[in-house]
Structure 1
Amino acid sequence: MNKKAKARWLKRFHQWHWISSAVCLVSMVLFSVTGITLTHAGAIGAEPEVTAVDRVLPAELLSGLEGVESGPLPADLRRWLSRETGLAVDALPAEWSDAEVYLALPRPGGDAWLAIDRADGALMAEDTDRGWIALFNDLHKGRHAGTVWRWFIDIFAVATLVFAATGLVLMALHAKRRPATWPVTALGLILPWLLIAFFVH
């Protein structure tokens, strides 16, 4: 490769490298920190905050459940639940039976559920908040975070691969002037496998 072509490719890889690093900088910090909190989850104390709800549906909302056997809760009931109980109920499919309607409401960092007695409209619900560390740990795993967040994780992963690949190319282009490049790179490649082989059971 002549000097002009090498300089052109060097400039291009530098550009891809800094753009990919800028795109995933904050996310790499977030995922690194949550990697630590996930590894040491047992050592991080957290007391879940549980809120219980015990109400009775108004007659007009209870009558709106008659004849419904599948699908989400009616829109007017979802609005009432949000206003009266603070539960954010999206148009998620509920579990319908002759006796009750049950809806699970998992989310990052917590979960909730509600059950409605179809005979008398008795509502029982419980909302559990496990704290901000659990929230970020669940976001790290993509747990109950929705489709948009899963797409974000995938895009971030691709940007990180671009960052790593362009970094490797830049190392190769500068390796002649930096003799330690390949020994250090080889150590980074071999060390995890040695740890897995000898210390992971």
Structure 2
Amino acid sequence: MKKADIFEFYRRLAERNPAPETELEYVNAYTLLVAVVLSAQATDVGVNKATRALFREVQTPEAMVALGEEGLKEHIKTIGLFNSKAKNVIALSQMLIAEHGSEVPRDRAALERLPGVGRKTANVVLNVAFGEETIAVDTHIFRVANRTGLAPGKDVVKVEEKLEKVTPKPFRSHAHHWLILHGRYICKARRPECWRCFEADLCAYRPKTPPPGGSIPTQDGRASIA
């Protein structure tokens, strides 16, 4: 994708959603960290259902440690891999208490040292909790970056590096959320909804998926009835 097209790609995203937010529910930086750890290989909807009652009871590392691994499991047993996730959340809570004064560190290396926290989770926390201009490449962003030609790459690190390089400064703070939401609701994994995509004319994906019901895409990407 050409430089001018990349700017226009983001401009359209910004026009439609000026202030995007994470769909994970959280109370503070600590509960955000826990929610992101729990969201690995799980949906935000599923995590939110499990954490609503949990976060009413637990909002600090101390409260989580007091709840204990078994108590945490009771809250999150509907989430995939809940046994290992519970173990990691208790361990990272203990580490936050012992090494960081119970605060979530604003440092990528320190975050990645926490149990259950990888590069993607660290980037989400840095972006959402601290306003850092990071882009956490999940499956949605990886797909959108490659499919559209925005920032093609064979692995998540390469895609992240390219996105960091090509994303214009005015859009860097929200790029993470715009790309995730675009992949979640329009540029879907099994069948992208090209007929209603407002980025279709900029996108390298071929062939464009046809619309259902006999409708045809107009120049601005909206559908009209044939």
TM-score (norm 1): 0.20
Give TM-score, length-normalised by structure 2. 0.18
Q: Which has the larger radius of gyration?
A: 1
Q: Which has the higher contact order (CA 8 A, sep 6+)?
A: 1
